[in-house]
Amino acid sequence: MDHAASARRFYDRINSGDFDTVIELLADDFVDHEEMPGFAPGREGVRQLFTMFQTAFPDMRWELEDVFAAGDKVAARVRVTGTNEGELMGMPASGRSVSVQVIDIIRFGDDGLAHEHWGVFDMMSMMQQLGVAPGVPG
In a domain, 50, yes or no: yes
Whichever domain contains 90, its CATH number is 3.10.450.50
In a domain, 86, yes or no: yes
Q: What is the DSSP letter of 37?
A: T
In a domain, 136, yes or no: no
User: Mean pLDDT, the chain, as a whole number?
Assistant: 94
* Residues of the domain holding 46: 3-130
Judged by DSSP in three states, 30 sits in: strand
Task: Tell me the per-residue pLDDT of 55-107, one tens digit each, with 9 for 90 and over.
Answer: 999 999 999 999 999 999 999 999 999 999 999 999 999 999 999 999 999 99
- Asked whether the beta carbons of 50 and 22 are under 8 A apart, the reply is yes
Q: What is the DSSP string of 86-130?
A: S-BTTBPP---EEEEEEEEEEEEPTTS-EEEEEEEE-HHHHHHHH
Over 80: is that where the pLDDT of 137 sits?
no
pTM of the full predicted structure?
0.90
Q: How many domains does the chain have?
A: 1
